[in-house]
Structure 1
């Protein structure tokens, strides 16, 4: 009898677990939206979690299979989300009817974690709006101009280290590791007010902590998945996605720096200083913890992504010598104009072809594969003829497939090819609105895009003016096939041969 009871209880428990795991699998069927059958628990990201494909490639392939639908269903683990494939509908949701979709869906569970809950991209409604208004002056051209000399110090150390590796005129480097060190040092200086040199000291604490936080692999990847599937498990076990000791490290850095500067009247043109000024000028009375949270999301967003942008562009310059030569010629003109003076923010922004190159990288590589919104109040989505397309309910999650749009031949002819001229003054006006959205769209677009582009322009200028980029024996043949996970990073690395121009 006891055995029979055990069998019954076990069977019931397994049935309940199955029902819980699949309870939303018929969401799209009930609402008459086309979709693809998901993996159990993993949803349509199964191949990403099982390390078979990258998130970017998964999004692009899913988009291409389903782009005939204006809206298509996608399972983010257990959660159903609505893919919006039509640019005009993206415009309506992100701009025209923004008040119905004012928030992002938290990419992680932030319950009980004030640091994560205070990040700008996690904040909601009026609280987000107030913080966005507080932060907007931080990222103006004037503030970036003042911050640029701090970046230049890091660029100089990077190039100095590169030249040391060129005693015979050339060397092979894995760009991701090389550029992540630069990204680390720039963020340490411009956001946290500390000086690091990750080329001389690759084991410095700031770099090691940063790498461990931003790389979703192993245990951290597992906790991220649990946070999406069943956040109550992490709460019950008292676990957090990010190790508390490491997040506390960043908190101490910022709070100690703020207190020291206020006490000693120290002014430095970095993020902490700008946030201190914004805090004083704001009527919102932001806490120190909320200011720390902005530094943390700034680090989290910039550490990998800024390095990826430079790596991807370098890879394309290596693969397209004609593009590299034209960019080199523009950089030479800038160098002559500078007359031995260091590069400045205003001069960097004069490089039109550099702009075209970076835009084409952002199109082809889509550093962010998608962006999202969540419906805050019931909404009837209509097309340009005012015909009803779909009725959204409160809580519906909406995704915009950035990488899919960017690689659609209907929007960009021969999308697999790297053609910076798409973004020339003569051609960029022909790009259909909301088909090129590398930094998102509408009021919740990326607030740090000017910072990211400033860093990429300057570093590429220094790289191209000093070295010719050539294919290495270790260069991965197909980057997209070799990428895994949620970052733009091939397993085989971004290997490039640097040949000195001097």
Structure 2
């Protein structure tokens, strides 16, 4: 082939690749929606992919620049997304007109993976509704109350290990690493029915597999990006985002446990037991793989998020000694009421100031920076006065900027400050509906929010009652700006000093 022909073919190939990568870049212009110019491949997530910013900071900054628009365009890699900034419109889409937006957009390509495609968060339409109805009884107050003693066993081991590190009355720890072990043991016990002690055996298989599945770095980050930009590449190469051996490990773990319990009539108040009962009582014929998928999404959502919630709350208590002191006083009252008995689910829910602290943590940290929906049938959105705003088409992706709303001074005065009193009985009624949605909104909100709060309340109680949290030499000064990529952890970690109160 002549040199000129090579140049022509190469140029044509480059042009076609560029056109494919930027084919949606005029989407918002054609539909008269304001937007910010994207970069090829990464869209408006350039700084996140380049590890210069976090996804949360990107969403907050984008929201602040564009909050004057009720709807604004954002490029999630190649795909255009419509961000809804108006709380009343979020309410309409998530609740009133839910039937037009019943599904989430899968964050990865799961078509060829029955385990991932069977997760509640990814299921669609009637199949999702059937599974949601099946799972709802699993997360009732009564079921959480019965599960709480299993958590208490893990809390006991955690505090026992912490006290071993306080021979001189204080120690410095990286909170994320310390709490990840607790989160691992709680999920292993309450969701998968196995006993692990990650403080005594930090290299146990459940912990190692969990860590590798939830850390989106290196090759996983590359595969995640490709899955968003060109999922057909992974399919063609036969590559999956999650290592098959590791997902098979969870599959065997749950199925073997279910078979063993049914054969030996073993009953344990954990997630496997509750799912087995739900499966029997449901009119739907759920397969073992469907049940495993729910354990997997439970693990995937709880492992990292519950850990970050406890770390973030601890960081705020450390940074706000007056808040920590008031919480300590409430915990002391609870301890006296318990009279040397372990904390119970009902007693934990009596701690009003604890609720305020966790609600403010969820506001300021927004463990999930956003939540989403995808339009399933053409829909005309109107405002509060019933004036036409925009017509969504089937397949349009919609985002609700949780972190942006939470950090908007119009909704929360001095949003950078940590003020639990925002959520006092006297004040919480003044919060504008749908400006505070830490667990999402509507029928597709987080089904496990009660479980997450139960774990966080109890762990903070045991921490505060035993230790005073103080800054250490390694504590990151500007923790939000130290977070990078799609994770929620600062690069410098959640370092703090634990000072024994005994």
Under TM normalisation by the shorter chain, which class is it? over 0.9
Q: Could you say what secondary structure the match of 2:468 adopts?
A: strand
1:379 maps to 2:379: yes
- Distance in 2, matches of 1:9 and 1:56, equals 42
Q: Deviations over 1:117-156 (max 9, x none)?
A: 0000000000000000000000000000000000000000
The residue that corresponds to 1:188 in the other structure is 188
- Quote the residue 2:361 is aligned against: 361
SS at match of 1:317: helix
Report the Cα offset of residue 111 of structure 1. Answer: 1.3
The CA distance in 2 between the partners of 1:317 and 1:461, in whole Å, is: 12
SS of the residue corresponding to residue 450 of structure 1 reads helix
Q: Distance in 1 between matches of 2:197 and 2:172?
A: 21
Unaligned runs of 5+ in 2: none
The equivalent residue for 2:438 is 438
Distance 2:147 2:487 in 1: 27
Match of 1:407?
407
Q: Pick which of 5-14 and 129-138 moved more.
A: 5-14
**What is the distance in 2 between the residues matched to 1:134 and 1:58?**
36
| 1:167 partner SS | coil
Give the whole-Å Cα distance in 2 for the aligned partners of 1:284 and 1:234. Answer: 33
Superposition TM-score, scaled by structure 1 size: 1.00
Distance across 1 between alignment mates of 2:213 and 2:488: 16
Tell me by how many angstroms 1:389 deviates: 0.6
**Match of 1:47?**
47
Equivalence for 1:271: 271
Cα distance in 2, alignment partners of residues 85 and 480 from structure 1: 22
Shift of 1:7: 1.4
Give the whole-Å Cα distance in 1 for the aligned partners of 2:403 and 2:457.
Answer: 22
Match of 1:309 in 2: 309
Partner of 2:230: 230
Partner Cα separation in structure 1 for residue 39 and residue 14 of structure 2:
18
**Aligned match of 2:472:** 472
Counterpart residue number, 1:395: 395
Counting only pairs closer than 5 Å after superposition, residues 25-424 of structure 1 correspond to structure 2 as 25-424=25-424
* Most deviating of 36-45 and 422-431: 36-45
CA distance in 2, matches of 1:63, 1:493: 27
Find the residue that maps to 1:434 and give its secondary structure: coil
Structure 2 residue matching 1:7: 3-state secondary structure: helix
State the 4+ residue runs in structure 1 displaced beyond 2 angstroms.
Answer: none
Give the secondary-structure state (helix, strand or coil) at the position aligned to 2:276: helix
Per the alignment, in what secondary structure is the counterpart of residue 246 of structure 1? helix
Alpha-carbon deviation of 1:387? Answer: 0.4
- Match of 1:209, SS state, is helix
> Once the 2 structures are TM-superposed, how far is the Cα of residue 2 of structure 1 from its aligned partner?
2.1
Alpha-carbon deviation of 1:487?
2.0
- Determine helix, strand or coil for the equivalent of 2:390: strand
| Alpha-carbon distance, 1:5 to partner | 1.7
* In 1, Cα distance between equivalents of 2:495 and 2:194: 30
Partner Cα separation in structure 2 for residue 334 and residue 370 of structure 1: 35
* 1-structure distance, mates of 2:198, 2:50: 32
What is the distance in 1 between the residues matched to 2:200 and 2:422? 40
Paired with 1:313 and 1:210, the residues of 2 have a C-alpha distance of: 23
CA displacement, residues 165-215 of structure 1 (integer Å, 9 cap, x when unaligned): 000000000000000000000000000000000001111110000000001
CA–CA distance in structure 1, aligned partners of residues 44 and 290 of structure 2: 35
- Cα drift, residue 40 of structure 1: 1.1
How many equivalent residue pairs?
502
The TM-score with structure 2 as length reference comes to: 1.00
Q: Offset at 1:6? A: 1.4
Say which SS state the counterpart of residue 263 (structure 2) adopts. Answer: helix
Instruction: Please list the CA deviations of residues 343-379 of structure 1 after superposition, one character each: whole Å capped at 9, or x if unmatched.
Output: 0000000000000000000000000000000000000
Distance across 2 between alignment mates of 1:83 and 1:10: 37
Post-superposition offset of 1:9: 1.1
Paired residue for 1:492? 492
